[in-house]
Chain A
Amino acid sequence: MSSHPAHTEDHAEEHEGMTKKRIWNVFYILLAITAVEFFIALYLVPHKTFGMDYHVANPIYIVLTLLKAFFIVGYFMHLKFEKAGLIFAIIVPVLFIIGLILVLTNESHHWIDLRL
């Protein structure tokens, strides 16, 4: 029974994980990130402010998207508050996707060469 106090402690922590206030905070963060994306797409890129074109904007979109993904998975899906084992079990396999991205980016370079 020595593990029992530890378990109830975990449980309390889990409840602390997502309070109503925190849910709305995450919502505002997601909304703000989306608003920034729209601002870049509708104002900065068309007006070329700060020399902004798609070469600069696209990497920014991707970073902001990954940031949104972090907030959705971490807070809404509660993964941030799970045991480290579960976090790694979900996040590590996702790294394989990076492998596929690298392979197909390389491949699509080759497709361009084929057409020339």
Chain B
Amino acid sequence: MSTAVSQIDEVKTTPWAGGSSPFSVEYGKIMMWFFLLSDAFTFSSLLIAYGALRFSSAAWPAPDLIFQSVPGLIEHGAPLVFVGLMTFILIMSSVTMVLAVEAGHRGAKKEVVWWMIGTIIGGFMFLGCQALEWSHLHSEGFWWGSIPKMEELKALFHGHPSEQTMTTYGHQFANLFFTITGFHGFHVFSGVVINIIITINVLAGTYERRGSYLMVEKIGLYWHFVDLVWVFVFTFFYLV
């Protein structure tokens, strides 16, 4: 038997030579990536629409005047403090999530459970903060299609725009704020629910039997994406 292999019989082993996934990622994980890609398009459409409306506006409610309270503690004069807390909570829960994934790689079931529980608590804390933020704005008079009374609305704009201007762009702000943070909050809520389901599966030993904690990685991708969207929402609603 000749040991020399003719060139045509040589098996190609390049990633795109066929026989295996060129991405070398499990099917479900690829699908999660493409779902997140489509979700990124949805969120960017919302944020770009917000950007276009705000960019063409004659005046816009100033973030440092609207978001200057810590619900239940400070009524005025603390701009960005509360949203800073929310951002910290979400980044922190992203860290616990990636630590759960890391523990999953080592097959350390107990650690996965604890980090997942940490992530779920972070998610609930964020949702609680958002509920407080929403009810605070609602108590001021903001809601879909409604704005505060004119004398209160005046205090939310820099300079002295006309009443008609303030009414128009106050409404635009209210609708966009509740729609976009609401859509994001809905994603956080779904993430918390899925996290709970995955944690129950971990506890039941489903992934131990399966031999891999890939499901934790997949929900991890989703959870980080939610954090990623918040980074953008935070910049464009609270900073800019």
Tell whether, in the assembled complex, residue A85 and residue B15 are in contact, meaning their CB atoms are under 8 Å apart.
yes
Query: Could you say which of B173-181, B182-190, B196-204, B227-235 contacts chain A?
Result: B227-235
**What string of 1s and 0s marks CB contacts (under 8 Å) between B203-225 and chain A?**
00000000000000100110011
A18-B102 CB under 8 A given contacts A90-B33, A100-B44, A108-B53? yes
Most buried by B among A31, A58, A78: A78
- B98 and A65 contacting across the interface, CB-CB below 8 Å: no
Interface size of B by CB at 8 A reads 51
A31 and B91: CB pair below 8 A? yes
B55 beta carbon closer than 8 Å to chain A: yes
Q: Which residues of A contact B41 (CB under 8 A)?
A: 96-97
Min Cβ gap B84→A in Å is 6
Centre residue among B40, B51, B235 by max chain A CB count within 10 A: B235
A72 partner residues in chain B, CB cutoff 8 A: 94, 224, 227-228, 231
Q: Does B8 reach chain A (CB closer than 8 Å)? A: no
Q: Which residues does chain B contribute within 8 Å of A97, judged by CB atoms? A: 40-41, 44, 48
Given contacts A20-B99, A31-B91, A85-B23, is CB(A104)–CB(B51) below 8 Å? yes
Q: Which residues on A sit within 8 Å (CB–CB) of B231?
A: 65, 68-69, 72
Chain B residues in 8 Å Cβ range of A86:
23, 25, 30, 33
Closest to A23 in B: B98
Q: Is the interface of A mostly helix, strand, loop or mixed?
A: helix
Q: How far is the CB of A15 from chain B (nearest CB, A)?
A: 6
Chief secondary structure at chain B's binding surface: helix
**B92 contacts across to A, CB distance below 8 A:** 27
- Complexed CA–CA distance, A15 and B22 (Å): 19
Residues of the B chain whose Cβ atoms lie less than 8 Å from the Cβ of A19? 102
List of A residues within 8 angstroms of B141 by Cβ: none
Residues of A within 8 A of B (CB): 2-3, 6-7, 10, 15, 18-20, 23-24, 27, 30-31, 34, 37-38, 41-42, 46, 54, 57-58, 61-62, 64-65, 68-69, 72-73, 75-78, 82-83, 85-86, 89-90, 93-94, 96-97, 100-101, 104-105, 107-109, 111-112, 115
Provide 20 A-B residue pairs closer than 8 Å at the C-beta atoms, listed in order of the A residue: A18-B98, A18-B101, A19-B102, A23-B99, A27-B95, A30-B91, A68-B231, A69-B231, A72-B227, A75-B98, A76-B227, A85-B22, A90-B33, A90-B37, A94-B40, A97-B40, A100-B45, A108-B53, A111-B52, A115-B56
- 7 tightest A-B contacts by CB? A108-B56, A111-B56, A104-B52, A108-B52, A86-B23, A65-B235, A108-B55
